[in-house]
Amino acid sequence: MPFPRITAASHFDVGTAGTIDRFTNENLAGKLLDIGVRPGSRLRIIRKGPFGGSWYVKIDRHCMALRKQELACIMIK
Amino acid sequence: MANSGTTPPVISAPVVGLVGNPNSGKSSLFNLLTGLRQRIGNFPGVTVEKKSGVLRLEGLPDVEIIDFPGAYSCYPTSLDERLVVQELTNPEGDLFPDAILYVADITKLDKHLLLFTQLRDLDLPMILVLNMADLAKETGLIVDVERLSLQLGVPVIPVSARENEGIAELRSAVTDLLRNPKKYRPEEPFYEPGAQARDVLADLRQELPARNDYHALLLTHHASWLKHIPEETRHLVQKARVSRGFHSLRAQVEETMERYDTFEPIVKDSVRRTGVNASTSDRLDNLLTHRVFGPLIFVTIMLFLFQALFAWTGMPMDFIEWFFETLGSGVRDTLGAGWLTDLLVDGVIAGLGGVLVFVPQIAALFLFISILEEVGYMARAAYMFDSIMQRFGLNGRSVVALISGHACAIPAIMSTRTIANWKERLLTIMVTPLTSCSARIPVYIILISFAVPEGSFLGMGYQGLAFAGLYFLGILAAMLSALVFKLILKSKERSFLMLELPEYRTPVWRNVGLTVWQKVRTFIVEAGQIILLISIILWGLSTFGPSADMAAAEANASRISVEQSLSEDDAADLLASERLEASYAGHIGKFIEPVIRPLGYDWKIGIALFTSFAAREVFVGTMATIYSIGSADDELRIRDRMAEEINPRTGQPVYNPATAWSLLVFYVFAMMCMSTSAVTKRETGGWKWPIIQFTFMTALAYVSAMAVYQLMA
């Protein structure tokens, strides 16, 4: 299911996927870019952590754990 | 663009750096290239663990290979990454490599080439090593190596460190590179600094000790913390950055985006994917990181791990115990009675035996932990427990330290270097020594037999349950202390998770074996040295004393012997115990006694506590020395000697359950390891935190042990 419009990744449910449009926080952007998360990457939310907080996502083909606050600054189109 | 052409044709003592992203299999390759010719030291100044080894190549002097910590880019977030940037931007430094083997995971080229292009622009001769070539075949990945090599302008060698493939090709490529390093220099950079960066560089280019523009740019970004940049240059950089409106973060993002745009087409052009891979890793994670089953499986794994630790190590432990007993009685028979025999048998051999008997358990613990690490499970544990850890002021990554702390706090504390947030890292360092490390095992085992009766409940032995309880107590104390520190310390620094979850892999047994071997060897050597030293000192302290006191003790003993007409053996025992009390060790014990009496300890236990502050594993050896002096019966083990000990005031055994529990609790909490304090000092950069750590742990130990004794007695 595609995302309807540009929205923060933290608003989406397990199983949704979209393409990263931009980041809203420069500090996080630097780090995300370093680990290979960048505009144009495909992001899919795989599952939420056992105790909330951290989410299991797939960026392109690579698995990654991101916190909800971290996902909140990733805008998806 | 290069400003030096002074590299000699063959370098006299070549240094090759192994660089790459975390999880690129760099260490496997390092182990494969160097085998057992490895040294573990510290990076100068920063004292981060440095792994280096020797690579022998035909026709060349020995090549030193340095395994740099994993890094994502030249814009470091963690201490590990800082080190890489520090060394690779300092051409004058001892560790500046003559060439770089850049290790990239062949299945993740789209990410792993970022750091590659940055280092390439630093004008270093490089070879690109595509690791995990075996996985490429499995996942239907086809890489056109020649095309990639042509477009990146470096030799590209696919290898599989796991399957030991491509190593011969790599070795000959390294040989060629070290013979003609010039041939391997880049022709043009991947990235040209943007307008803003050009302005600031125009001001600084001449002032900075830089090899080229990109080097100068990195120095401009990082001058404030790079150790080789002098203070005045830092000021210059700061001034230029302000006057030119240079925004470091923005420039970094811009550079990174541009680099991706440059190398992404190259990767697309030379890497083809055939077929989709519904990977086993994903299916495993459906279960292992499941919201409900994930944590349950984690707990099960941990329970299994500790159960196995004790179930599987019985036989080798019995053997080691038997060996040292045989050795001891052998030495006694050969040398005959005398002070040297006592020192050797009671101090050194008993002390060493008391600790070495736990080598199988320590090896097993390191084995399990390095397997969990190699397989990729630790990252999942960090993911699952991140939010809980956050509540206690820690990071998901702290789980790794808290688990490894059960083997040894030293590597555990060093593993916190991947935690970027200083407060989270500090808290992890502070509480990790509360988890029960393997050096506590000997102390626990001896004392539990006095604290808990034999017998079982629902098939589980009481003593085993008590043992598990002590481990749990350690974890609980660690978490609660973290919470207290969290509330005391304030920090505005942002905290991150951003954790890669690498694919599950079967462990490379070579790596696991090497880790276990290195850790066990270090344990034996260090524990051996300290036990030898303390045994000798303690023996001296307990044999000699102020001459007046010793004479008085002897006179007193012979007077009582005559008065009570004691047998010869009893008289000898009495004399020995009077002498011990009058000795220097006795004086120390007596001096401490008032402080520890509320905990239920006498002055002899005081001596053991005193020596344990050097390293807690000394406890058993100290007990052996103290209780063997004067005892005619050499067949008894330490435990039995302790059981025979009677409190002269009450006529009851000294080691009653109350005292034993009190001691156990004391050993769970107390900071009794000089090496750990030294590591804490190193990793926190001063004496402040190790002193706080020592004080709070020891105070906790004292108060809890007192509470336990007073409640039970």
Report pLDDT digits (tens) over B168-192: 999 999 999 998 888 887 778 899 8
For chain B, helix, strand, coil in percent to 5 are 65, 10, 30
pLDDT tens digit sequence for A22-57 = 999 888 899 999 999 999 999 999 999 998 889 999
Residues near B385 by Cβ (< 8 Å), separated by ≥ 6? A51, B295, B298, B396, B399
Residue B277: predicted pLDDT: 59
What are B225's two structure tokens?
A: 């913390």
Distance from CA of A75 to the nearest CA of B (A): 16
Three-state DSSP at B564 gives: coil
pLDDT tens digit sequence for B66-122 = 999 999 999 998 888 999 999 999 999 888 999 999 999 998 999 999 999 999 999
**Whole-model pTM?**
0.85
Q: How far apart are CA A60 and CA B61, in angstroms?
A: 44
Residue type, B334: T
Q: How far apart are CA B321 and CA B314, in angstroms?
A: 10
Listed residue (B436, B429, B432, B427) closest to B474, CA to CA? B436
Does the pLDDT at position B305 exceed 60?
A: yes
Contact B387 A51 (CB under 8 A): yes
- Is residue B390 within 8 A of residue B404, CB to CB? The reply is no
Three-state DSSP at B481 gives: helix
B132 is in an annotated binding site: yes
Residues near B39 by Cβ (< 8 Å), separated by ≥ 6? B51, B52, B53
Contact B108 A62 (CB under 8 A): yes
> DSSP states of B69-118 as a string?
PP-S-SS--SHHHHHHHHHHT-TTSTT--SEEEEEEEGGGHHHHHHHHHH
B502 contact residues in A (CB cutoff 8 A): 63
Residues near B163 by Cβ (< 8 Å), separated by ≥ 6? B133, B134
For testing the chain A interface, which of B132, B499, B504 should be mutated: the one with the most A CBs within 10 Å? Answer: B499
A9 contact residues in B (CB cutoff 8 A): none
pLDDT band at B278 (very low <50, low <70, confident <90, very high): low
Does the pLDDT at position B230 exceed 60?
A: yes
10 Å CB burial of residue A72 (0-12, 13-18, 19+) is: middle
A65: nearest CA in chain B? Answer: B499
Closest partner residue to A54 (CB to CB) among B252, B386, B500 is B386
Alpha helices in B597-684 (DSSP H): 603-612, 618-628, 638-644, 657-669, 674-684
Contact A63 B500 (CB under 8 A): yes
Q: Which CATH code for domain A7-76?
A: 2.30.30.90
Strand partners, B157: B129
Does the pLDDT at position B629 exceed 80?
A: no
For testing the chain B interface, which of A23, A61, A68 should be mutated: the one with the most B CBs within 10 Å? Answer: A61
Listed residue (B130, B74, B376) closest to A33, CA to CA? B74
What b/e string do you get for B114-141 counting C-beta neighbours within 10 Å, with b at 16 or more?
Answer: bbbbbbbbbbbbbbbbbbbbbbbeebeb
Contact B387 A53 (CB under 8 A): yes
Closest partner residue to B497 (CB to CB) among A46, A48, A54 is A54
Instruction: Please state, for a pLDDT cut of 90, what percent of chain B lies above it.
Output: 45
B289 contact residues in A (CB cutoff 8 A): 47, 49-50, 56
B78: nearest CA in chain A? Answer: A31
B115: nearest CA in chain A? Answer: A34
Q: How far is CA B566 from CA B380, B555, B557, B558, B563, in A?
A: 68, 15, 10, 10, 8
pLDDT band at B5 (very low <50, low <70, confident <90, very high): very low
Q: How far apart are CA B485 and CA B423, in angstroms?
A: 9
What are B682's two structure tokens?
A: 């190193």
Where along chain A do its domains lie?
7-76
Beta strands in B328-402 (DSSP E): none
For testing the chain B interface, which of A44, A56, A66, A71 should be mutated: the one with the most B CBs within 10 Å? Answer: A56
Three-state DSSP at B159 gives: coil
User: What does pLDDT average to over chain B?
Assistant: 87
For chain A, helix, strand, coil in percent to 5 are 20, 40, 40
Closest partner residue to A30 (CB to CB) among B75, B277, B384 is B75
What domains appear along chain B, each with residue ranges and CATH number? Answer: 15-184 (3.40.50.300), 194-245 (no CATH), 297-488 (no CATH)
Contact A51 B385 (CB under 8 A): yes
Three-state DSSP at B454 gives: coil
Contact A56 B501 (CB under 8 A): yes
For testing the chain B interface, which of A47, A55, A67 should be mutated: the one with the most B CBs within 10 Å? Answer: A67
**A:B CB pairs within 8 Å:** 111
Residue B258: predicted pLDDT: 94
Q: How far apart are CA A40 and CA A43, in angstroms?
A: 9
A49 contact residues in B (CB cutoff 8 A): 289, 291, 383-384, 386-387
What are B56's two structure tokens?
A: 């022998």
What are B518's two structure tokens?
A: 């290195």
Q: How far is CA B378 from CA B153, B398, B445, B512, in A?
A: 37, 10, 29, 15
B67 is in an annotated binding site: yes
- Is residue B203 within 8 A of residue B244, CB to CB? The reply is yes
B653 is in an annotated binding site: no
Query: Would the CA dihedral through B23, B25, B28, B30 be positive or negative?
Result: negative
Residue B274: predicted pLDDT: 73
Does the pLDDT at position B276 exceed 70?
A: no
Question: Largest Cα–Cα distance of chain A, in whole Å?
Answer: 30
Q: How far apart are CA B396 and CA B386, in angstroms?
A: 4
Contact A50 B384 (CB under 8 A): yes
Contact A26 B249 (CB under 8 A): yes
Average pLDDT of B482-504? 89
Does the pLDDT at position B136 exceed 90?
A: no
What are B618's two structure tokens?
A: 């000394």
Does the pLDDT at position A4 exceed 90?
A: no
